[in-house]
Amino acid sequence: MTDLRVLRPSETPDELSSLRTLTARGVAADHNEPFGDQTWVELTSGSAWLITTGASEFTGASAVVIPTDETQPVLVELVVEPDARGAGLGRALVDATKTLITQEASKDQVVTAWSHGDHPAARGLAARVGLEPVRILYRMAVDIDRESFGDVNVPAGYTIRTFEPGSDDAAWLELNATAFADHPEQGQLTQKDLDARKAEDWFDPAGFFIAEDSTGTPVGFHWTKTPVGSHAGEVYAVGVHPKTQGTGLGKALTIHGMNHLASSGLEKIVLYVDDENRPAVNLYNSLGFGVENTDVMFSSTS
């Protein structure tokens, strides 16, 4: 029988070293990060539950974010040591997660879970607890086989500069919330979330670009990301104010950031985009990106 530990949010920050070791083994086998950036933020800040196997070395773990705001969904992400798969460990973690959510979440709170890579085993576990696929996220990629991805044709009246940590924080958060008003994760970022990302070893303001209008007001951005030791850079987030849509500013920002990554000695560029966001998918296709992976979100409501 598998022995599991259920760690309260206040206890999870002390377990992150073991968790990162486990997730690194998962990434090596799956070529996918099992936990999203926001999940790490919640774990690090002591805002997420953690269900684990083992005391000092984990063979499996489930991260469970239960917002105190009952209108916000519960988020579940799970990883199992590659060599320990197929023995019922994933099922045990899912059952323990279900019990935890029943005890700690509101009875009307929606439950969501991500399968990074759309593994058949994950689909089976989701179905076991009554979760259905509701969202598809593409990971698209393009090889860096050139010095530039094209000229940056910035529309008249706009300029692009680099982000200034601290002084740009408030204006960027407001712009991000406006640009992603309908996005379930990106548009909800807070100062705490931004601070957590700025504290990560991959954060580099030299790869974070802000577009301003003639009054000096931020109206667009392209935040690139290059994890330490990775051969791939990421189009982490591109957003523009609704009033600039149709001007070509979004494409200009995208190419500007891609050219920055192309000059950084990397092998490829990746990005994540919802399959329903056809204008963005079409833009990225036109820039040479192709789908290399699919993430699926499951939910307790369809």
Instruction: Please tell me whether 134 is known to bind a ligand.
Output: no
37 assigned ligand-binding residue = yes
Check whether 19 is labelled as a binding-site residue.
no
* 166 marked as part of a ligand binding site: no
* 3-state class (DSSP) for residue 145: coil
Of 26, 46, 33, which Cα lies nearest the Cα of 16? 46
Angle formed by the axes of helices 249-262 and 278-286, to 10°?
A: 50
Establish whether 282 is an annotated binding residue: yes
Name the token pair of 298.
Answer: 């499951």
Is 277 a known ligand-binding residue?
Answer: yes
Amino acid letter for position 262: A
Q: Are 112 and 299 in contact (CB under 8 A)?
A: yes
* 234 in a labelled binding site: yes
Q: Is 109 annotated as a binding residue?
A: no
In b/e form, how buried is each residue of 100-109, taking b as 16+ CB within 10 angstroms? bbeeebeeeb
Crossing angle of helices 191-198 and 37-44, rounded to 10°:
100
3-state SS class at 235: strand
What amino acid is encoded at 14 in this protein?
Answer: D
Known binder of ligand: residue 245?
yes
Q: What φ, ψ does residue 36 adopt, rounded to 5°?
A: -75, 165
CA distance 154 to 252: 6
Ranges assigned E (strand) in the chain: 4-7, 49-53, 60-65, 74-80, 111-116, 132-143, 159-162, 208-212, 218-225, 232-240, 268-274, 290-299
The answer to whether 249 is a known ligand-binding residue is yes
Neighbours of 270 (CB within 10 A): 19
**243 is known to lie in a ligand binding site:** no
Query: Is 76 known to sit in a ligand binding site?
Result: no
122 vs 100: CA distance, rounded Å: 19
Residue 235 marked as a ligand binder: no
Q: Is 247 annotated as a binding residue?
A: yes
Nearest in space to 253 (alpha carbons), one of 219, 204, 216, 209: 209
Specify binding-site residues for acetyl-CoA.
Answer: 78-80, 238-240, 245-251, 277-282
Specify binding-site residues.
Answer: 37, 78-80, 185, 225, 234, 238-240, 245-251, 272, 277-282
